[in-house]
A and B are shown apart, each in its own frame.
Chain A
Amino acid sequence: MINTVSTNDYKLYTKEPWEEFQEENDDDTLEQFVKPYIRRDLGFKELLNEYFNYNASLDNCYPKLFKYLPKENELTFYQIELYSSTKVKSTNIDFNSLVLSIIETAHDIEFEDGVANEFSKKLNMYIKKYGNSFINKLIPIFLNETANDEILSEALRWIGRIDSSDTHEKRLWLLEHCLFSSSPTLRDGATLGLASMNDPSAITFLKEVIKKETIKELLLDMKDVLFDLVKEKDAIYSKKNQKK
């Protein structure tokens, strides 16, 4: 298959993968090839982004080439989030590095229940600044449990507390998803996160995991949270009926 990408202004096709091109050509050649296009701002940056997104993971990606690309203007990032859109949003922001930096911060902290720390503040800041795109990058970490369980559990507690209506649904999804984790520490963090969020939409999934939960203390916590959410649901329902 020919490797092809296109943007609004340009189509690019290559008969060999980009990896081979990079191996065979040194930095000078790459610079000579790429820079004139970027300087003229002909959409080549977007073209390369499309190519990398399609053909390779960002981890393998081509730092040699990326160093020539202009950095995304971070101040404009939030403006382009459309909530009616389901299209994948592409960006130059290196979310992987941001996520790693948050995890790094957590390693030296002794967590105290309910006490804000450098880790929770960073998490709060990035979620509010970058919204759902950032949370999408967090999700695989919880899925693969690639960081320490205690750190992830702490993150889940704070994710439930963040005051951000724009990211509410995505955070709710993540917390509900982590109820099904194989790690009891994560299930505990998710339960506490959902307690803070106080959204009765979580009732269905809490009921489902309660049926399977085998750790007694965790089961009791889940039932307490379920009780509170059902009360909240009844309260909302009563308010609606009163208005009618």
Chain B
Amino acid sequence: MAKKPDATLNNWNVELLRFTGFPSPDFQIKEPNWWYEIVGEQPENRIVQPRKGLFQEVGLFDESELILKVEPFRIDWVFKANQKPEEQDMTTLGEFENGAMQFNNLMTKWFGLKDFPKFQRIAFGAILLHPVKDYHQGYTKLSVYLKSTVAIDTKNSSDFFYQINRPRKSKTNIPNLRINRLTKWSVKKAKLLGIIFNGEQNKTISGEDSFACRLELDINTIPDPDMFFKQKECNEIFYELVNLSFEISKKGDIK
């Protein structure tokens, strides 16, 4: 059953959400039917590359793009905004809380499937954006989130990038489970570049610059070759990973 997040978030929008799982070495499923089983209809595209052991399905879910990528050593679900050509601004899934709940519901359905694999490690990834006017405003906002660790000279700085991992002990009942909380903080500048292919008269059209604070989250279990997670554990752990990301997006870089 999907759980409601327990933090109020501060206007972050979400560009991309990701579940990554590293399956147990005895994982053998090659062309699963998961995309269909959780969405309820067939994907738009399917790529199968047997020599690489790659299986990928892509389609729209609620007007956003949902991608399933299966390789022998990792499985990824990616949920991201579907770029529309007429949109000049950075395209997102909307508010982080809503996007994460939507994604959590999808993953909860997947956790409940009969052929759900056993994992040695799982992760929740997210790229969050908060639109700002320019670099200065972006750095000012970031300095609030990073106030306990980094002092940013907002007027005389550029190319700021802060990355840190703050591991924690898991609050689930799984013994010895620890979690990486890897975050990357920066201010992003985006420009929409349109390219019209027309034989000899190829043309490019540039949009205006747009800026946003960018927070990239990679919250994952610390690998332990003796640890395996089945359905129930994945459900509990994933809920914790998502909630840890909520905490960081609200409170910033905290221990």
Contact = CB atoms under 8 A, between A and B. Distances in A.
A139 B225 contact: no
A130 interface: no
- A1, A86, A170: which has the most chain B beta carbons within 10 Å? A86
Interface string B198-224: 011010000000000010001010110
B223 A169 contact: yes
B193 interface: yes
A146 B186 CA distance: 43
A179 B27 CA distance: 12
Given A13-B194, A84-B220, A180-B28, A140 B72 contact: yes
A143 B53 contact: yes
A25 B121 CA distance: 45
Contact of B25 (A15, A21, A84, A177): A177
A84 B165 contact: yes
Contact of A11 (B44, B45, B186, B190): B190
B50 A144 contact: yes
B190 A10 contact: yes
B77 to A, nearest CB: 13
Nearest to A200: B226
B130 to A, nearest CB: 15
A138 to B, nearest CB: 10
Interface in A61-83: 82
Interface residues of A, number: 45
A173 B24 CA distance: 8
Contact of A6 (B73, B83, B199): B83
B83 A85 contact: no
A87 B218 contact: yes
- B83, B85, B121, B218: which has the most chain A beta carbons within 10 Å? B83
B180 interface: yes
Secondary structure at chain A's binding surface: helix, strand, loop or mixed? Answer: mixed
B182 interface: yes
Interface residues of B, number: 53
Given A6-B190, A8-B188, A143-B53, A33 B202 contact: yes
A110 to B, nearest CB: 28
B82 interface: yes
Interface in A1-58: 1-2, 4, 6, 8-16, 20-21, 24-25, 29, 33, 57
B51 A140 contact: yes
B197 A14 contact: yes
B197 A140 contact: no
B25 A173 contact: yes
Contacts of B20: 86
Interface string B216-242: 001010110110000000000000000
Interface of B: 20, 22, 25-28, 44-45, 49-54, 58, 60, 65, 71-73, 76, 82-85, 120-121, 123, 125, 165, 167, 180, 182, 186, 188-195, 197, 199-200, 202, 214, 218, 220, 222-223, 225-226
25 contacts: A1-B44, A4-B83, A9-B191, A10-B190, A11-B190, A11-B192, A12-B193, A12-B195, A16-B197, A25-B197, A57-B49, A82-B165, A84-B222, A85-B218, A86-B218, A139-B71, A139-B73, A140-B54, A170-B73, A173-B25, A173-B73, A173-B225, A176-B25, A177-B26, A177-B27
